Structures are given as C-alpha cells and as structure tokens.
Chains A and B, each alone.
Chain A
Amino acid sequence: MAKAKPKTKTENSTPMVKIFIMGAAHEVPASLTIMKAIEYAGFKITRGSGCRAGFCGACGTIYRKEGDYRIYAALACQTQVEDGMVLTQLPFVPAPKARYNVDELQPNASAMLKYYPEVARCLSCNACSKVCPQEIKVMDYVQYSLQGQIKKAADESFDCVQCGLCAIRCPAEIPQYHVGMLARRLHGKYNLKAPENLEHRVKEIEDGVYTEAFSELMKLSKADLKKRYTERDFIDQKKA
C-alpha cells in the first residue's frame, strides 16, 4: 500500500512542523493545536477528547521536545504544536476517588486525612504545580488541605479541570485533583452562603409553578415554537 506523500514546505505555503505521535514522525501545519494535529495526521481520537475548549480535562498530554530532557504537560485542545514535540496522550489517570458522604464530614483536616491520608506524605517538591496546565499552585492547595485550611484549598484549586497530570507526577502518590474536589465540596456545603435564589427556584419547580407553561411548550409544533422564539420579549409580564 502506497503511503500518502507528506505535504512538505515547498509544496504548500503553510509552514509545517515535525511532531512525533507514539514515536512516529508526522509533518503537520504549525498553526494547529495538538489535538487538531493528531487528527490531521490521520488518527481518530475516541478517548482523550471532550469539550475541545479547555474545560473538561480529557486531553491531558505529556510531551518532550527533541534535544530537551525536560518533561512538559498541556491540554491538547488548547496548545499549539511546536517543532520536535514528542507526544503522548493521557486520556485516563488511575486514581480511584474515595467514597464519602459530605453530610458526615466537617470542613477540617480530619476529613481530608480520613479519606486521603497520603496527603501527609507530601514532600513539597512542587512537581504537581509545574505540570498543571491550568497553572494552579497544586502543592499549595494540598498543603492547605493537610493543614485544615479548607477555604484556602478550595479557592486555590478552583480552576482545576481534573486532567490528572499532577497525580501522575507525584512522588508521594497523592491524587491531588480528588483532594481538591473534596475541599471544594466541603467548602461549598459548610462555608459558603446557601444559594437562596437557586433554592427558591428549585422549590418553585417542585411546587409545579412552571409545569403548565412547559406542558404547553411541549405540545407546540415546530413552526409555532419558532414563532414564539423570535417574538419573545424580556419584559416581566407580571410587572408590565
């Protein structure tokens, strides 16, 4: 079977770079993201791709560059390719989440150590923060969890997309993203103000305030639905 001739610089005006996917070299356009470049090279990504918008954490990528011993990490959908990148995708990181019931816990160090005692092994090496594609200070939030400073742990870990790259690099074998999740859950439940508007709306729904309106909408034809949509206004009917 004849291999497709790779597009070279002279054939095309698009600047190309050489990247290595699973050890094999591919020429790809330099402007593509890693994810698009993998697809350009002919692969279909069935795992390790989700929102394609930097939010779901499915496309964790570890890579090195030719001639450079350092390890780099990125989200494939958000990062542009570079010449000499040697890639591997990490669609899944093995780190079973502990089973707990937040109703039975308090926002303190005991809760964290009960379910993630390995947090006491943290060496403060900072490998986790260095690998985080969201530039979170991961080591700091693990330390805050060990110290029982749940609010600080929750605030610091807020941008986490659960890609798992920190857990893979950790010499103390801590699943940092699960620790951050527990901290945020405890913080949200016990420290933050209850979302009154949300609770009010949920009660309204349960009391059936909107059931009639929804049933009506569900019965409309496509044409009528479209008409309603284009003619909608935002004036509060009750106040008008």
Chain B
Amino acid sequence: MVQYSYFPGCNLKTNAKGFEKSAVAVSKKLNAELVEIPNWNCCGTVHTMTSDNLMKRIAPVRVLSRSRKHIEELEDSPNEVATLCSMCNSTLKIVNKEVKVDEDKLSKINYQLEEDEETYAEDMEVKHFLEILRDSVGYKNIAKKVIKELKGIKVVPYYGCMLLHPEEAKIDDEEMPSVLEYLMESLGAEVIFSPLFKFCCGSYHIVDDETIVDSQVSKILQDVRVKGANAMVVACPLCAYNLDYQQKKLIKQTGEKNPIPIFYFSQLMAIAMGEPIEINHFEDHQIDPRKLLKELKLEG
C-alpha cells in the first residue's frame, strides 16, 4: 500500500470530520493511504504576503519538517505532504516555494528550528489529495472502484480561490480547471458548469462581517439554482461552512424552497464506492444531504 504523510489542518478535526473520514476511507481503497502526521501543528493560513515577516513562516516550515520525519515510518512513501484542506495546501505550497528560492529566509527559519531539531532540508513537495487522485491514482482506477454510480446527482464543482491561486499553489489551470469535473464524471454524476466556480466565498470575513459572506454566497447559490443543479461539491472546509451555514440562515430569511446540499468531493467518492454513510458525518451539515441521497436512492 502506498502511504502518504497526511496533514489534516485544524478544521478537519472539528467542523470537517466527514471530509477527513471519507477521504481516509477511499484513500485506502485506492492504494494511496492517507496517514496522519502524529504531531502536526496549525499551518497558520492565510499565508503572509509580506516580504519581511519570518515568524509567520515558521509554522508551515515546521509542518514540512515534521512530515519529512514522519515519512521514515511509512511504507513506500514519496517525499510529499498530502493535504485535504485547500487553504492549508495553498499556504504550505507557497511557503515551501519561498524558502526553496530564498536561502536567506530558510537559514533564518532553520536557526529557530535548530533547537527543536526540526530544521527543514528543502526536500518535500506538497500535494493536494485531488492532485494525487488525478496524477498518481488516475480517473480510470477511481471509476473501477465505483459500485454505485451517482445517478441523479447534478453537481456544480466549486473550487473556491485557494485551489487555483497563485501560480505556486494552484493544482489546475486557474481560469478553466477540470479536476473536479473529471472526478465527478468518473463517479457517474452529472456535472453542471457555473462561471462562479471560483467566486470567493468570503473566506475569513465570516468572523468580522457576515454580510460580506452573505453577499458572495447568495450570488453563488443563485447561479447554481438557475443552472438546475441539485448539489455542489467543494474541497475547502471554510467554503463548505460559508456555503452551508450561511445558506441555512439565508433560507430562513428569504423562505427559499430549494436547498442545495454541499458535499466534500471525498464524501461523494465514499458514497459511490459503497462506504457506510455514517463515515461522512452528514449530521454536521446544516443543509442535510441525506434528503437528496434518499430521493435518489443513494444513501446505502
């Protein structure tokens, strides 16, 4: 079994438990097992865009260094940190590139890490699980493991901004990405395109000004409904929260009759591959996807 050193990120242990559990389950089926780093620390997203703040770069470098140590214990493991959270993916990739390019920055950060015996030797790459599925596992192999095609699911793939920006972090073309589309098709779902596929959900503004998130989310969901979709698929726990939680709030305010459940891509994979439905922790969602799954006889 190929094993990947897996970095969860804080949200995968709390609000996005279903994302992690379903992803780990399907990873085992696809010979790309995600094995959690035993002593990981928060990556400190969103990455700092200042040129001079080294403190804020210590956390991601420490993650890379700890992952490198972790790989020694795994079987058949490439020098890659696997991530599920898009925001963590972006932060780790960007800082990894920064320290590889700027020796001075790395040596100063390593000076701090030396005492903890966790210096980073620039020998790791960062891969989002979607990249692993596309490049190492392959869509054909995914399709082979599907035992229940997702007939009736009309899904809009929503990338959010962190998966596609900037150059160092993106996993696909930023204006015309296709990884989620191909993945959904290999599961037998119908893919519907929305031009708002990377219209930022509002991200961390959910803390200081909810109205910003409400404005973004209502625009996205309006387009999804107009296009006739009945679900959305995402790869970022913060996007999922904003689209799910704020949607519930907006539905209460506007009386909208058409709720759109928000799925993580690994949850749809888990359903298609016959995993027990509890693994997805759908009870944590505000808009319960089980209603739609029951209608389509997909709840397993």
A touching B, CB within 8 angstroms: yes
Binding site for B on A (CB under 8 A): 108-110, 122-126, 129-130, 139-140, 143, 146-149, 171
Docked complex: B3-59 residues within 8 A CB-CB of A: 8, 10, 13-14, 39-42, 44, 55-56, 58-59
Residues in A neighbouring B42, C-beta threshold 8 A:
122, 124, 143, 146-147
Q: List 8 A-B contacts (CB under 8 A).
A: A125-B55, A125-B58, A126-B115, A146-B10, A146-B42, A147-B13, A148-B14, A149-B13
> Are the CB atoms of B13 and A124 closer together than 8 Å?
no
Q: In the assembled complex, how far is the CB of residue A139 from the closest CB belonging to chain B, in whole angstroms?
A: 7
**Per-residue contact bits, chain B 243-264, to A (CB 8 Å; 1 contact, 0 not):** 0000000000000000000000
Q: In the assembled complex, how far is the CB of residue B54 from the closest CB belonging to chain A, in whole angstroms?
A: 10
> Are the CB atoms of A148 and B56 closer together than 8 Å?
no
> Are the CB atoms of B41 and A139 closer together than 8 Å?
yes
Task: Return the chain A residue nearest B15 by Cβ.
Answer: A109
Residues in A neighbouring B13, C-beta threshold 8 A:
109, 147-149
Query: Measured between alpha carbons, how far is A123 from B112 in the docked complex, in Å?
Result: 13
**Per-residue contact bits, chain B 46-89, to A (CB 8 Å; 1 contact, 0 not):** 00000000011011001000000000000000000000000000
Docked complex: B151-190 residues within 8 A CB-CB of A: none
Task: Return the chain A residue nearest B60 by Cβ.
Answer: A124
Query: Measured between alpha carbons, how far is A109 from B13 in the docked complex, in Å?
Result: 9
Q: In the assembled complex, how far is the CB of residue B115 from the closest CB belonging to chain A, in whole angstroms?
A: 6
Task: Return the chain A residue nearest B55 by Cβ.
Answer: A123
Residues in B neighbouring A124, C-beta threshold 8 A:
41-42, 44, 58-59, 62
The answer to whether B116 has its CB under 8 Å from any CB of chain A is yes
Q: In the assembled complex, how far is the CB of residue A152 from the closest CB belonging to chain B, in whole angstroms?
A: 9
Closest 8 CB pairs of A and B: A124-B59, A124-B41, A143-B41, A109-B14, A147-B13, A148-B14, A147-B10, A148-B13
Residues in A neighbouring B112, C-beta threshold 8 A:
125-126
Task: Return the chain B residue nearest A70 by Cβ.
Answer: B115
Q: A110-B14, A146-B10 are in contact. Are A171 and B55 (CB under 8 A)?
A: yes
Binding site for A on B (CB under 8 A): 8, 10, 13-14, 39-42, 44, 55-56, 58-59, 62, 112, 115-116
Residues in B neighbouring A140, C-beta threshold 8 A:
39, 41
Query: Measured between alpha carbons, how far is A125 from B115 in the docked complex, in Å?
Result: 11
Query: Measured between alpha carbons, how far is A129 from B62 in the docked complex, in Å?
Result: 14
Residues in B neighbouring A126, C-beta threshold 8 A:
62, 112, 115-116
Residues in B neighbouring A125, C-beta threshold 8 A:
55, 58-59, 112
Q: In the assembled complex, how far is the CB of residue B164 from the closest CB belonging to chain A, in whole angstroms?
A: 25
Residues in B neighbouring A130, C-beta threshold 8 A:
115-116
Task: Return the chain B residue nearest A143 by Cβ.
Answer: B41
Q: In the assembled complex, how far is the CB of residue A198 from the closest CB belonging to chain B, in whole angstroms?
A: 32
Q: In the assembled complex, how far is the CB of residue A44 from the closest CB belonging to chain B, in whole angstroms?
A: 37
Partner of A108, one of B14, B58, B115: B14
Residues in B neighbouring A110, C-beta threshold 8 A:
14
Task: Return the chain A residue nearest B59 by Cβ.
Answer: A124
> Are the CB atoms of A123 and B58 closer together than 8 Å?
yes
Query: Measured between alpha carbons, how far is A139 from B263 in the docked complex, in Å?
Result: 33
Query: Measured between alpha carbons, how far is A139 from B62 in the docked complex, in Å?
Result: 12
Residues in B neighbouring A149, C-beta threshold 8 A:
13
Task: Return the chain A residue nearest B17 by Cβ.
Answer: A148
Knowing that A124-B42, A124-B59, A146-B42 touch, tell me 9 more A-B residue pairs with CB under 8 angstroms: A123-B44, A123-B59, A126-B116, A140-B39, A140-B41, A143-B40, A146-B10, A147-B42, A148-B10
Query: Measured between alpha carbons, how far is A148 from B16 in the docked complex, in Å?
Result: 12
Residues in B neighbouring A129, C-beta threshold 8 A:
116
Residues in B neighbouring A143, C-beta threshold 8 A:
40-42
Query: Measured between alpha carbons, how far is A130 from B42 in the docked complex, in Å?
Result: 18
Residues in A neighbouring B62, C-beta threshold 8 A:
124, 126
Residues in A neighbouring B59, C-beta threshold 8 A:
122-125
Q: In the assembled complex, how far is the CB of residue A84 from the closest CB belonging to chain B, in whole angstroms?
A: 21
Q: In the assembled complex, how far is the CB of residue A231 from the closest CB belonging to chain B, in whole angstroms?
A: 55
Residues in B neighbouring A108, C-beta threshold 8 A:
14
Query: Measured between alpha carbons, how far is A171 from B40 in the docked complex, in Å?
Result: 20
Q: In the assembled complex, how far is the CB of residue B279 from the closest CB belonging to chain A, in whole angstroms?
A: 19
Q: In the assembled complex, how far is the CB of residue B65 from the closest CB belonging to chain A, in whole angstroms?
A: 11
